[in-house]
Amino acid sequence: MRESSTVEFKREFTEDLKYAVVAFANSDGGKLYIGIEDDGRVRGVDQGEDLIVRVSNMIRDTVKPDVSMFVQYEILSLEEKEVLLLQVSRGTGRPYYLQGKGIRPQGVYIRQGAASVPASETNILHMIKETSGDRFEEARAINQQLTFQKTWDYFRKKEIEFGEAQMRSLNFQDEDNMYTNLAMLFSDQCVSSIKMAVFEGSKKTVFRDRREFTGSILHQLEEAYGFIHKYNRNRSEFRGLERVDRQDYPEEAIREALLNAIVHRDYAVRGSTLISIFDDRIEFVTLGGLVRGIAFSDLMLGVSVLRNERLGQILYRLKLIEAYGTGMLKIQESYQGEQRKPEIKVAENSFKVILPNRNFEHAADIPALKEKVGKYRVLHEESREEKILKLFMRKSSIYRKEVEDELSVSQATAVLLIRSLVEKGILQNVSGGKYSRYELGLEGEKVLKKMIENH
């Protein structure tokens, strides 16, 4: 006999034989002889029955998941000497790995010729896919050293139990008590992330802020929502004597777009969910196009097929999702009566939701706006004029940047307002160039005097 991809010799019992057991179980099975030299000479073993107990205990304690049912023991008599034969079958729980090493090349072995060698990450992922199919959530996580502090905190805040029993009922663990990819998504070690960026203007040229959120997707969800809320400015306008506050983006639309990006993303694809905030819009870009069998028209009618069904069930249980298939409809309804509507763009491997800024006034709209407003026709513009004029109660001249800060508006909006006031004679430009300075014009002095008298 000779060693091969399915045969290995061990001179005597050592714990090193666990590498061959793991490799055979992950490959096509094989025979492991204890008591035979590498060159095939029979050496024999003593007390074969006791040796079976030692070997079986060692395999049970060091190989995960339990491979015992795929290992058969037999004592052979060769050249009048006892030899222990381990017949290892190809396991159904692949990848098998060494306790303490995890599902990674250092812990997963396969047969290559007559040797047991570390499996590549590609080999490991292939084994996971073979045993779990395309069900990403149910597949075993590569990292089995997971913690759930952030998820535990979130469940406690919602007054929902989260312990060992819930781990199993939520499908965080499989029948072999191995963590699944679903558990990985809720763990502090989650490998997927959300990247967020805030840009100056309407193009990806100048960064104003950027963040990346990692860890449990529940933690990512909270952090991302808080970050967007920070840039969701509240603008005020007056309708007669009544003041009306109006956010740039409806909170319902932000919530639904963010949850859509979490629950429908294809987590089998490495990469981050991207959220970009511009002056005129927010873009949510999610990896993974539409689920097979669903058309864009179906989506807009409210038809929903969850890519990550178990993830969706947990978010539903946490009352983050109210009902399946209503997200896109809620986003559209939140912009009812608005001139600019949300956009949904679908590519083969990605999905984009675009929410327009309801308070954004682009400089390109100046001619149309002029016809509309006249001198004092639009009340919310009038209230902004009052805020600008109040700046002159404490200084003799102002700059465009001061208008931006005072009104919390974009550069384009500040330019529009100042230009309108100059045309009305309320302001006058006293220094040109990049840092233009403005003082009160004749009309502005009259209006400011009347404002002071009224107050």
What's the rounded mean pLDDT across residues 351-358?
92
What's the rounded mean pLDDT across residues 130-147?
81
**How does strand 272-277 pair with strand 193-199?**
parallel
CA–CA gap between residue 174 and residue 259 (Å, rounded): 26
Tell me the β-bridge partners of 438. 398, 429
CA–CA gap between residue 371 and residue 258 (Å, rounded): 38
Q: In the chain, pLDDT over 90 holds for what percent of residues?
A: 42
Domains contained in the chain, CATH given: 7-132 (3.30.950.30), 136-186 (no CATH), 193-356 (3.30.565.60), 363-454 (1.10.10.10)
Q: What are the tens digits of pLDDT across the range 208-250? A: 899 999 999 999 999 999 999 989 988 766 666 666 678 899 9
Q: What are the tens digits of pLDDT across the range 420-443? A: 888 888 888 887 666 788 888 888
Which helix (H) or strand (E) segment holds residue 350: the answer is strand 350-356
CA–CA gap between residue 427 and residue 188 (Å, rounded): 56
Quick check: 337 pLDDT over 90? no
User: Among 255, 287, 443, which residue's Cα sits nearest to residue 351?
Assistant: 287
CA–CA gap between residue 285 and residue 267 (Å, rounded): 13
pLDDT at 361: 63
Helix, strand, or coil (residue 237):
strand
What's the rounded mean pLDDT across residues 81-90?
94
pLDDT at 298: 62
Most confident of 161-170, 182-191, 408-417: 182-191
Tokens 């010729």 correspond to 113
pLDDT at 131: 74
CA–CA gap between residue 63 and residue 108 (Å, rounded): 10
Which helix (H) or strand (E) segment holds residue 154: the answer is helix 149-157
